[in-house]
């Protein structure tokens, strides 16, 4: 799965009072690098650490005015779970 496969989910999320942000794993979709299983959780943690700066760059509020919900499908569910650990 890559981010572009989430387009149908984005349409659903537009009907809800929330925002939707998707990240590709390293070496998938438009991401660079080579896929390494030992990098999955650290890469996801880095994405979360970069979230405040990413939102500020696009003039969106931080702290975000609603809960941040992490979702993963398949292997991504284990990665999302590692962030809330």
Q: Is 35 left (phi over 0), alpha (psi -120 to 50) or beta?
A: beta
pTM above 0.75, yes or no: no
Average pLDDT, the chain: 86
For the record, the structure tokens of 81 come out as 């779970």
- Contacts of 32 by beta carbon, 8 Å cutoff, 6+ apart: 26
Average pLDDT of span 20-43: 87
Give residue-wise pLDDT tens across range 37-62: 899 999 999 989 999 999 899 998 89
Question: How many CB atoms neighbour CB 27 within 10 A?
Answer: 12
User: Alpha-carbon distance 27 to 73, whole Å?
Assistant: 17
């Amino acid at each position: 799965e890559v981010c572009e496969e989430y387009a149908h989910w984005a349409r659903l999320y537009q009907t809800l009072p929330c925002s939707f942000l998707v990240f590709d794993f390293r070496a998938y979709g438009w991401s660079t690098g080579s896929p390494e299983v030992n990098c999955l959780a650290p890469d996801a943690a880095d994405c979360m650490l970069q979230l405040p700066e990413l939102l500020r760059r696009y003039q969106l509020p931080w702290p975000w005015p609603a809960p941040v919900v992490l979702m993963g499908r398949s292997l991504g569910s284990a990665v999302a779970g590692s962030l809330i650990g």
